[in-house]
Amino acid sequence: MASDTQLHKIKEILENHIGKENQISSGEIGPEIGIYEDATHVQVRNLIREAIEKLRLPIGGGNRGYYLIKDRNELRQYTASIENRISEMQRRKDLIEEAFDDYY
């Protein structure tokens, strides 16, 4: 569970990273909020999710990091990428279940 201070610091950081072209990595965010961890940055990623939920921040994520979504067009692009990942994961789940049934 994050402290309110960490969540508000994430908000402040991301307010300087508006738009997909201005991403900041979890590795850069961590030290700014007092978290030093391995390359997976699990704690920071969990805090990002918590900031979305508790502070109701429109945070997007890309290959290079996180950002505040700047407009409705960027929101549509980001949610479309999430839908695509959901579809890919559903397909993988279905394939694994079929493979399990075939294997056993």
For the ranges 36-40, 71-75, 78-82, the lowest mean pLDDT is seen at: 36-40
| Same structural domain, 3 and 40 | yes
Structurally, how many domains does the chain consist of? Answer: 2
| pTM over 0.75, yes/no | yes
The domain of 94 spans 71-104
- CB count, 10 Å around CB of 29? 23
| Same structural domain, 53 and 77 | no
Q: Which of 17, 4, 33 is nearest to 66 (CA)?
A: 17
| Same structural domain, 64 and 75 | no
| Same structural domain, 52 and 93 | no
Q: Which of 77-86's residues contact partners 24+ apart within 8 Å by CB, and which partners?
A: 77/20, 78/20
How does pLDDT run across 14-66, given as a tens digit for each residue? 999 999 999 999 999 999 999 998 888 999 999 999 999 999 999 999 999 99
SS3 helix, strand, coil % of the chain, rounded to 5?
A: 65, 10, 25
| Same structural domain, 34 and 53 | yes
Residue 9 makes CB contacts below 8 A (sequence gap 6+) with 32, 33
| Same structural domain, 41 and 62 | yes
| Same structural domain, 44 and 80 | no
Q: Taking residues 94-101, what's their average pLDDT?
A: 97
Q: Taking residues 6-14, what's their average pLDDT?
A: 97
pLDDT of the residue at 2: 65
